[in-house]
């Protein structure tokens, strides 16, 4: 393909750049992080994920997971029973507290930006039926 006059770009009086490209416009860059951020939002059960689930259900799609990733994990490992089967421990109702520091403070002081995770733990004595419930810190 021969270059046209419109493809010639003067860089300086002595130099010119000639384009032999067939595509005139560059391609749009896709959102490469969308899959990762959507997956992380599902894991935490964030507001954007809840809105997407509600929109999918409103359109009639019932195959969308309705439980967040952490909820599924806690349901999968609960209850934890002792060897004799007389006591069990279940986890439910996770929540994140607000982060201790802002993003800017973490950048300035070289801290990790994190939020504490709290879970309601239910300890059950299967022999007596007694249940003790307590909110426990699971980590940042």
Segment 35-91, tens digit of pLDDT: 899 899 999 888 888 998 999 889 988 888 888 899 999 999 989 998 888 899 999
pLDDT at 20: 79
20, with CB counted inside 10 A (0-12, 13-18, 19+), is exposed
Dist CA 68 CA 9 (whole Å): 54
Structure tokens of 127? 């022999």
Closest CA to 112 of 120, 102, 121: 102
Structure tokens of 42? 């599902």
pLDDT at 105: 94
pLDDT at 12: 63
Dist CA 27 CA 24 (whole Å): 9
Helices (H) and strands (E) in the chain, counts: 4, 6
pLDDT at 6: 52
pLDDT at 36: 92
Structure tokens of 14? 């002595």
Residue 5 has pLDDT above 60, yes or no: no
The rounded percent of the chain whose pLDDT value lies above 70 is 90
Dist CA 12 CA 8 (whole Å): 12
135 versus 9: which is more confidently predicted?
135
The pLDDT tens digits of the residues spanning 114-127 come to: 999 999 999 999 88
How would residue 109 be classed by pLDDT, with cut points 50, 70 and 90?
Answer: very high
Q: How many CA atoms lie within 13 A of 8 on its CB side?
A: 10
Dist CA 67 CA 50 (whole Å): 9
Phi and psi torsions of 18, nearest 5°:
-110, 130
């Amino acid at each position: 393909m021969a270059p046209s006059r419109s493809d010639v770009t003067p860089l300086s009086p002595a130099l010119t750049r000639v384009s032999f490209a067939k595509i005139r416009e560059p391609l749009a860059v896709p959102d490469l992080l969308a899959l990762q951020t959507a997956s992380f939002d599902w894991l935490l059960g964030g507001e954007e994920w809840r809105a997407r689930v509600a929109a999918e259900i409103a359109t009639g799609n019932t195959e969308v997971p309705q439980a967040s990733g952490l909820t599924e994990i806690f349901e999968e490992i609960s209850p934890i029973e002792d060897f004799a089967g007389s006591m069990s421990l279940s986890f439910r109702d996770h929540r994140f507290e607000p982060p201790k520091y802002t993003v800017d403070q973490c950048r300035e002081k070289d801290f990790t930006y994190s939020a504490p995770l709290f879970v309601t733990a239910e300890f059950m004595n299967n022999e007596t039926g007694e249940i003790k419930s307590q909110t426990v810190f699971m980590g940042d």
